[in-house]
Amino acid sequence: MHMLTKWLIGALAVLGAAYLIPGIAVASFYTALIVAALWGVVNVVIKPILLILTLPLTILTLGLFTFVINALLFWSLGTIIKGFVVEGFVAAFLGALLVSIVSFVGNKILTKND
């Protein structure tokens, strides 16, 4: 049940990003659920590999390059998932930032109540 709630928080965060940020569009709630699921998989599987590969650049920029990696991964989801559109790097950057913040806060509230 806990995992399902985290998934729903992620989907609502994606819908919120589509509503607030011009350049991001989500066709339906079902599409937002798919985006949230794949966003979780990408963050668990692909992101750590990219962080290790770009470690010198991440250290050189004092960790700020991590935001660029997040944006590129979010943007790539827009090319993979039908019904989810991310138009440009700025929209991807803001969308990834918003989805990450909302998911983090929502999951903190969820674990605080347990």
Given this model, what pLDDT does residue 65 score?
95
User: Tokens 């590969």 — which residue?
Assistant: 53
Instruction: Write out the two tokens for 18.
Output: 């589509």
Given this model, what pLDDT does residue 2 score?
80
Rounded to an integer, what distance in angstroms lies between the CA atom of residue 59 and that of residue 102? 26
Residue ranges covered by each domain of the chain: 2-104
Residue 25: its H or E element: strand 24-26
How far the first Cα of the chain sits from its last, in Å, is 12
Global pTM reads 0.89
User: Tokens 């250290």 — which residue?
Assistant: 59
Spell out, as residue ranges, where the chain has pLDDT lower than 70.
113-114
Q: Which of 25, 23, 103, 35 lies closest to 74 in space, CA to CA?
A: 35
Given this model, what pLDDT does residue 22 score?
94
Rounded to an integer, what distance in angstroms lies between the CA atom of residue 22 and that of residue 45? 28
pLDDT for 50-72, tens place per residue? 999 999 999 999 999 999 999 99
| DSSP secondary structure code for residue 81 in this structure | S
Q: Which of 75, 102, 93 lies closest to 15 in space, CA to CA?
A: 102
Q: Indicate the SS3 state at residue 86.
A: strand
